[in-house]
Amino acid sequence: TSTNQGAYDGFTCTYNASTGSYKLVSGTNSSSSDVAVSGGTAQAALYLSTATGATTTGAFDVSNPLTSSNFSTALTIYDSLGNGHQVNIYFRKDDTNDWSWYAVTDSSDNANGTGDQVQARGNLQFNTSGLLYDADSVTLPTGGFDFVGGGTENQVISFDFGTDVAGGGAGSDGITQYGLTSTTSFQSQDGYTSGSLRNFSVNNAGLITGNFSNGRTVNIAQVGLATFQSNDGLSRMGGNLFLETADSGQPIIGQPSSGGRGNVNSDSLEQSTVDLAQEFVNMITNQRGFQANSRTITTTDQLLQELINLKR
């Protein structure tokens, strides 16, 4: 038996090429029904590993989010000052394979109004394989989140539910729809609470990496090395210091291990960090002092030996 789009005795049959499903509509209030197609069945499957049986009637009500949605999860996000704020995300089944989501912040966290507010919302569409086919979102009402606490106003926060099939993605690397109990298996965010620098390290490339108390590891800076057209043209200042001259040319600063530059050896002392001439003078002085002391001891020993001989 074949099924085509069109009107049939008060019913309207529409075909969704992206999901491969048919929908029968009667009047204004309707829901999708499974329709046998050429021996197969376009089954209604649910995302977020859900098995919600029916769509939710009416509009999403921010004052009663649990009764006007099918599933919810919570996520902690951070403002520009590192303050944590909880955002509740409610998922609502609008139709077979079609869902909408709403990111809601508590009234105590909103700097731009009273009461709980929908800060962002979007739509999710799945195909008959349970993969995310298409996704779109919009941030409300001012284009960003405005939290209490003195952080950046209208902070832009993006919600990533994975790559969709319509955009060339896999559709399975984020949110999916299957006939199981609604659950959240994994979630992450790239914000962090405020932290202080604990320690730092320097690698062979001169990269200075800082480790912070909030668990973050950040590249802070990089040590630059200089080369000259003529190293012999540098003026020696003593103490392993050299001065640029007209003969040496201007310094060409770049990254270590590039353009003939050397590496940076962390936690090590360069052998030539002293004035060798001065160190030789110090060594000779100490040696002469040692020799003088040795002669004194030798003379004393000879006198004692003579005294012993006289007694005999």
Tell me the pLDDT tens digit for each residue of 242-281: 899 999 999 999 999 888 888 888 877 666 666 777 888 8
Q: Of 101, 98, 124, give the one whose Cα is nearest residue 44.
A: 98
Q: What is the dihedral of CA 24, 25, 30, 33, to 10 degrees?
A: 0
Residue with tokens 């950046």: 152
CA distance 121 to 65: 13
Q: Which pLDDT value is given to residue 247?
A: 92
Q: List the beta bridge partners of residue 211.
A: 199, 217
pLDDT less than 70: residues of the chain: 1-57, 141-143, 239, 269-274, 311-312
Can you give the pLDDT at residue 218?
Answer: 92
pLDDT at 6: 44
DSSP state of 143: S
pLDDT of residue 51: 53
Q: Is 302 helix (H, G, I), strand (E, B) or coil?
A: helix
Question: What's residue 56's pLDDT?
Answer: 62
- The confidence score (pLDDT) of residue 248 equals 92
Position 43 scores a pLDDT of 25
User: Which helix (H) or strand (E) element contains residue 236?
Assistant: strand 235-238
Residue 110, C-beta contacts closer than 8 angstroms, at least 6 positions apart:
116, 117, 146, 147, 148
Query: What's the full length of the chain, in residues?
Result: 312
What pLDDT score does 224 carry? 92
